Amino acid sequence: MRYLTAGESHGPQLTTIIEGLPAGMPITAEDINNELARRQKGHGRGRRMQIEKDEAFIASGIRHGYTLGSPVALVVENNDWKHWTKIMGSDPISAEEAEEVKRKITRPRPGHADLNGGIKYGHRDLRNVLERSSARETTVRVAAGAVAKKLLSLLGIEIASHVLEIGGIKASPTPYSSIKELQQISEDSPVRCLDKEVEQSMMDAIDQAKKNGDSIGGVVEVIVEGMPAGVGSYVHYDRKLDAKLAGAIVSINAFKGAEIGIGFEAAHLFGSQVHDEIAWDSEQGYYRKTNRLGGFEGGMTTGMPIVVRGVMKPIPTLYKPLKSVDIDTKEEFGASVERSDSCAVPAAAVVAEAAVAWELACAIVEQFPSDRYNQLSEYIERYRQEVKEF
Ligand SMILES: Cc1cc2nc3c(=O)[nH]c(=O)nc-3n(C[C@H](O)[C@H](O)[C@H](O)COP(=O)(O)O)c2cc1C
Ligand SMILES: C=C(O[C@@H]1CC(C(=O)O)=C[C@@H](OP(=O)(O)O)[C@H]1O)C(=O)O
C-alpha cells in the first residue's frame, strides 16, 4: 500500500490518496472523523484548532460503506482558507497586488523548515515553504492512518497511545489492564496522560512556557496488541518492520527520536536483563515472559505487544523569537512569529498512532497479499493458527 498527501496549511484543502487497500473492507466516514477529532484535542494548542473542525469527505474508492479496491481519496477542507484566499490563491497576481497582499516572510524561524526549504527551492518568500512544512499535513496522515487502523482492528489488532513526558514532567508507569482501558483513560486526559497525578503539572508547564513566549516538547508511547508473530523480515535492511516504525515516527514533524521497547535504556543493562525469555503454553502457543524488546526481534514481530516511543522537540515558532537573519537584508532580526501551538505532544500521540498503524497495515498487506478483504482475513486467521501450532 502507499499514500500521498497534498495541501498547504492555509490552502483550500488537504487531500490524501491511498492505494492498495483490499476490496470489501467495511469503513465509514465516522471511522476517519473520530481520529481527526482526537488529533485536534490536547492542552497547548493554538487558536487554529478552534477555527477548524476536521472532517473527511470521501471522494473515491468507498461505496456503501465498503472499499472498492480502487484508490481511496479523502479530502479535509481548511475552514481557515476563507481568511487566506488572497494570500494563498493559485491565480497569478500582479506586483502591486503582491505588495498589497504583503506578509512576505523573510526571517526564517530556527528549527523550522523555513531557511533550508527556501535555499532548496529558491523561494524568497518563506511562506512558500512553511505552508507545506506545517504539521497541518498531519491531518491527512491521520486520515490515512485511520483507514489503516480500521483494517488492523477488523483483523483483531488494536492500537492506542499515551503521553509519557511533557517539558521534563514524567508520568510514572501506570498499569492498565487492556488496550481498551488505555484508549479510554488517555482519551479522558487533556494531556493524554495515564498518570492523573502529573496531569495538572503538565498543563501548568505548558501554560508557563506559553506565558514565557516559549514552547515545550515531550515523549509519546504507542502500544499495539494482536499482531501475530513473524510479521516483517530479517532478510534485508529495508524490510525490517521495527526500522520502518522508527522511520515513520521520526517522519512526524518535530520528532527527533524513536525507541522500541526499553530502547536506549538497554545500553546500560546486561543481556540477561534485556532479552525476553521464551515460553509456551497450549492456550497461546509461544510467548515471552517479559516484553522489554517491545514486540520485536530480528525486524519481525514476536506476537507480544508492540511498544514504540517517540520524542518530540519543543515547537520551533516562539512568541519570544530566537535570533535569525533577514534573507533580504542579511541583518540580524528576531525570527518571524506565526500563530502557533505552545505544545502539541498530546495531538502528536494521535499522529504517532496513525504512523504506526500505517506501517503495520502495509506489512500485513504485503505479507498476506490479497485483493479481497475476506480473503485477507482468512489468511491471517490461518496464519495465526499455524503460529500457534508451530
Ligand atoms: C501536531 C503538531 C502540531 C505542530 N504545531 C506547530 C506549531 O503550531 N508551530 C510550529 O512552529 N511547529 C509546530 N509543529 C512542529 C513543526 O511542524 C516542525 O517542527 C517543523 O515542520 C520542522 O520540522 P522538524 O522539526 O521535524 O525538523 C507541530 C508538529 C505537530 C506534530
Ligand atoms: C494547523 C495545524 O497545526 C499547525 C501546525 C503549525 C506548524 O508550523 O507545524 C503551525 C500552526 O499553524 P497556524 O499558523 O495556521 O495556526 C498550527 O496550528 C494542525 O495541526 O491542524
Query: From the CB of 345, is ligand 1 less than 6 Å away?
Result: no
How far is the C-alpha of 118 from the C-alpha of 54, rounded, in Å? 29
Q: Is the pLDDT of residue 175 over 90?
A: no
State pLDDT tens for residues 241-284.
999 999 999 999 999 999 999 999 999 999 999 999 999 999 99
Instruction: Say yes or no to pLDDT of 139 above 90.
Output: yes
- Spatial contact of 260 and 246, defined as CB atoms under 8 Å apart: yes
pLDDT at 387 > cutoff 70: yes
Task: Check pLDDT > 70 for residue 70.
Answer: yes
> Is residue 71 predicted with pLDDT exceeding 70?
yes
| 138 C-alpha to ligand 2 centroid (Å) | 10
Helix (H, G, I), strand (E, B) or coil at 26: strand
Question: How far is it, in rounded angstroms, from Cα 37 to Cα 55?
Answer: 8
Q: Which residues are annotated as a binding site?
A: 39, 45, 132-134, 253-254, 298, 313-317, 339
Is residue 156 very low, low, confident or very high in pLDDT (cuts 50, 70, 90)? Answer: very high
pLDDT of residue 101: 75
When pLDDT is averaged across residues 372-389 and rounded to a whole number, the result is 97
| CA separation for the pair 130, 108 (Å, rounded) | 10
The pick from 9, 82, 112 for probing ligand 2's pocket by mutation, whose C-beta has the most ligand atoms within 8 angstroms, reads 9
Which pLDDT band holds residue 13 (cuts at 50, 70, 90)? very high
Look-up of cell digits 497511545: 161
107-128 pLDDT, tens digit each: 999 999 999 999 999 999 999 9
Whole-number Å distance, alpha carbon 45 to ligand 1 midpoint, is: 11
Q: Say yes or no to pLDDT of 99 above 90.
A: no
Q: What's the ipTM? A: 0.98
Average pLDDT of the chain is 96
Kindly give the distance from the C-alpha atom of residue 241 to the centroid of ligand 2, in angstroms, as a whole number. Answer: 30
Q: How far apart are CA 227 and CA 148, in angstroms?
A: 14
Pocket, ligand 2, Cβ cutoff 6 A: 9, 46, 48, 134-136, 138-139, 253, 338-341
Distance CA 230, CA 219 (A): 28
Q: Tell whether the model's pLDDT for residue 102 goes beyond 70.
A: no
| Structural domains of the chain ordered from first start | 2-389 (3.60.150.10)
> pLDDT of 290-327, one tens digit each?
999 999 999 999 999 999 999 999 999 999 999 999 99
Give the model confidence (pLDDT) of 83-96 as tens digits.
999 999 999 988 88
Residue 330 pLDDT? 98
pLDDT of 208-240, one tens digit each?
A: 999 999 999 999 999 999 999 999 999 999 999
Ligand 1 pocket residue status of 253, Cβ below 6 Å: yes
Give, as one character, the DSSP assignment of residue 31: H
| Total H helices, total E strands in the chain | 13, 17
Q: What angle do CA 27, 30, 33 make, to 5 degrees?
A: 115
Residue with cell 532478510: 235
Express each pLDDT in 50-66 by its tens digit.
999 999 999 999 999 99
Distance CA 21, CA 147 (A): 9
- Residue 170, CA distances (Å) to 139, 173, 218 in order: 27, 9, 9
CB of 249 closer than 6 angstroms to any ligand 1 atom: no
**Is residue 53 classed as helix, strand or coil in its secondary structure?**
coil
Q: Whole-angstrom Cα distance, residue 8 to residue 220?
A: 26
Of all residues in the chain, the percent with pLDDT exceeding 70 is 100
Looking at the DSSP assignment, which residues form a beta bridge with residue 325? 332
Residue 60, Cβ neighbours under 10 Å: how many? 14
* Spacing, Cα 10 to ligand 2 middle (Å): 9
